[in-house]
Amino acid sequence: MYLGYRDSLRWLDELRQQVDARPALAAGRVVPFVIPSFPMLPAAGEIIAGSPLVLGAQNCGWADGPWTGELSPSLLAELGVGLVEIGHAERRRHFAEDDAMIALKVRAADGAGITPLLCVGEESRGSEITTSTEAADAGSTGGTEGAARFVYGQIQAAVGGDWDLAARLVIAYEPVWAIGAAEPASAEYVSAVVRSLRELLGAHGLQDLPVIYGGSAKPGLLPTLDGVSGLFLGRFAHDAANFGKVLDEALSLPGVASS
C-alpha cells in the first residue's frame, strides 16, 4: 500500500522493462513474480502479459459465496493470478489469521489452481549469528533448529498434515523480527534455519521444496545464502533497478528457482 494506482502502474511498467532487458529469464530457470494490490491486478496482468513475470495476489478468501470484502481464489484465477500470498506476519498479527484460517485459504487456493506462497517465520529474534562457526553452534544448541521446527510446524498446520498438498507450495521464510528492519537476518542465520528446515521436510520427500527468504531482503544478499531458492523483496524493490540487480544475481547462480 505504499503506492497509489497510477504510481503502481508506472512501477509495474518499470519491472516489465527490467525483465524484458534479461532475455535469459525466458528459459525459466529463474521465475520472477510480482504481487501488487488487488485493484491493480487486471491492469497488471495486461502490463506483464507475454513476459516471464508471474502475477500474484497479496491475500485471498477461502471460498466463493457470502464473504463480504473477500476475494475468492476462483476470481483471482480468472484474473490470471498464478501465485497468492497466504499467512503473512501482518495478516496473522493484525487481522487475527490463525492456523485454521490459513489452512482453509491454502486448500482453496490450491483447488483453484493457484500456487500458495505460504509465509512463515519465528516471532522473536533467536540466536542471530555472524559466522559459519556460530551457525553450527546455533544449530546444535537449538537456536536455528528451534526456528526451523517452528516454521515446520507452521507448514504442517497450513496443509493439515497433507504433505502431497505441501509439495505444491512455495515457502516464504520471513523471520518476523527482520521484516521492516534496517538489515536482513544474517546470511549464516538464514542458511542455517533453511538447512534445518529442509532436513525436517526431507522426512516427507520435500527437501527440495522452494524456500525463498524475505525480511528486508535486498540486492547483494542472494549470493551469500546457502540452500535458499530465491528472495521475497519488499520495499527495496520499489526501485525497479534493485529488482533488476537481484535478477542478475539469481541468473548468475546455479539452482535458483525464484526471485
Residues known to be catalytic:
88, 174
d(Cα 16, Cα 35) in Å, to the nearest integer? 13
Taking each helix axis from N to C end, the angle separating 5-20 and 41-48, rounded to the nearest 10 degrees, works out to 20
C-alpha cell at 245: 540487480
Cα 164 to Cα 59, 83, 152, 169: the distances in Å are 22, 18, 15, 10
C-alpha cell at 196: 534445518
Place of cell 491454502: 106
Amino acid sitting at position 31: V
C-alpha cell at 39: 485493484
Place of cell 500474484: 56
C-alpha cell at 107: 486448500
Question: What's 185's DSSP letter?
Answer: P
14, β-bridge pairs:
none
Amino acid sitting at position 142: G
